[in-house]
Amino acid sequence: MITLKEALRLNKDELKELKKDLVEKIEETRDINAYIDVKEAGEGIPIAIKDNIQVEGWSITCASKILQGYVAPYNATVVEKLKSSGLSPFGRTNMDEFAMGSSTETSFYGKTLNPKDHSRVPGGSSGGSAAAVAAGVAIAALGSDTGGSIRQPAAFCGIVGMKPTYGRVSRYGLAAYGSSLDQIGPMTQNVEDAALLYDIIAGYDPKDSTSAQIEHIPVAPNLNPNRKMKIGIVPNYIKDASDEVQKAYDKAIEALKREGHTIVEVSLMDAKYDIAAYYITAMAEASTNLSRYDGVRYGFRAEAKSLKEMYQKTRTEGFGDEVKRRILLGTFVLSSGYYDAYYIKAQKVRYLIKDEYKKVFEEVDLILSPVAPTVAFEFGSKKSPLEMYLSDVYTIGVNLAGLPAISLPVDETKEGLPVGLQLIGKHFDEQSVFDGAMSLERALK
C-alpha cells in the first residue's frame, strides 16, 4: 500500500486507479471485517473513517443497533478539513459499540479480526481503522481515543496511532462517549504520515466549545528526528507488563540512547488510580451522553403500547451488553448519595494525575511507556469486564490529563505479533511527540 505522503503526489487518473485497487482488496479481505461499508464522499485521497464520525449522507451508527436508520445530516469538522485538503472519506470502519471496548468484539456488525493473526483481537475501540491500515486496505484512517482507543489497536496491529492534546482537534461531529476525554486522531503506516494527517485535522474550531484557541503550527514541515531530547522511563510501570512488552521496552530504550537522547528514570503513581478515576469519569459522561438515544428522535424504535414502554424496549433491544453496563454504572455514580463518594472523588484524583504529569514534564521532554500490558490477546480470553478494563492501564492516564501521545510498533514476538510502545508529550507539544517518534522509528529500522 502506498503511503499518504506518496498519495498526495498522485494525479486524478492515478487516484482513480488506486481507489479501484482498494475496492478489490477490501473485497478480498472481507473476512477481517475492518469495514462496515465502503462509500466515497468526494474525489480526494481515500481515508477510512471510524463509524462514530459524521459524514453527510452516510449512515453513521457507532456500530450500534440503536442508530440503525440514522443518516448524518452534516459533516464533522475533521471531514470538512479532509475535503478542503484534497482528501476524502472512503468507507466507514468497524468499532466497539459507542467506542466502549478494547477489542472490537462489541460491534453490532460482528467482530473485526487482527490481520496479523485472525484468532486475536485487533484492539479497540478503533479496531476497524487499525485493521484496515494494517491489512493494506486503507492508506490511512481516522479513529477516536477516549482511553486508548487509537493507541491500543495501533499497537496490536503494528501501525502508528496518535492521540492529540485534548482540544487540539475539533470534536464537532464526533459521537460523544466521554466528552472531557474524547479526541479524534490519525492512524497510519508510519510516523511521517501521522504528522501529515494530524496537520490536516488540527486547529481551533468555533463549533466546538472544548476546542483550544491556541495557534496550530504545522508539525510535518518541521519534523526533526535529529533533535536530542530528555526521555523519561517509568520502571514502576513496566513491572506489570508481559515479558514481550518488557523486552520491547528495553530494546526501545537502547535505540533511543544510540540516537543520542538522554534517558531519565521517573515515577508515576500506581496506575490503579488511573483505572478507577477513568472508569468513573467515562461512565458518568457516557450515561449523560447516551440518554439522548430514546427511540423518539432518530435511529431504531421498538414497537410499544406506551411512551415509557417504548423507552424501555428501545434501549433494551438497541444497546448491547457492554454499553448497558457502562450506562448503569455511570448513572449509579451520578446518583444522589453517590455523586460525592465516587464522581467528585474521581475528579480530585484526575487533578492529581494531571498535576503529577506536569511535575514529571518539568524534567523531561517525553515519557516512554507501554501501550498495553500484553500483545494482542485471543478472542474470548478476557473472562470478565474488569479483566478487559485492565488492558487500558497504560493509556487512560494520558486521556485523564489531556496529553498528546503516539503509539508506534517497536518489536515483534516469536509468533510475529507486533509490540507497540507510546511516547507521551506535554500539552500542545505535538512537535516533540512526532520528532521523538520519528527518531525511534528510524533507530529501529
Annotated catalytic sites, by residue? 50, 125, 149
Angle at 439 between CA 435 and CA 445, to 5 degrees: 145
Whole-angstrom Cα distance, residue 437 to residue 365? 12
Whole-angstrom Cα distance, residue 367 to residue 364? 7
Q: Is omega for the bond preceding 59 within 30 degrees of 0, making it cis?
A: no
Axis crossing angle, helix 345-360 with helix 271-289, rounded to the nearest 10:
130
The values of phi and psi at residue 91, to 5°, are 85, 140
What SS3 class is residue 269? coil
Whole-angstrom Cα distance, residue 389 to residue 152? 12
Residues 6+ away with beta carbon under 8 Å from 408: 154, 160, 191, 420, 421, 422, 423, 437, 440, 441
Whole-angstrom Cα distance, residue 100 to residue 5? 32
Where do we find the cell 472523588? 345
Closest residue by Cα to residue 184 from 334, 49, 313, 57: 49
Where do we find the cell 452516510? 58
Rounded alpha-carbon distances, angstroms, from residue 252 to 74, 371, 403, 411: 43, 13, 21, 9
Angle at 396 between CA 390 and CA 397, to 5 degrees: 120
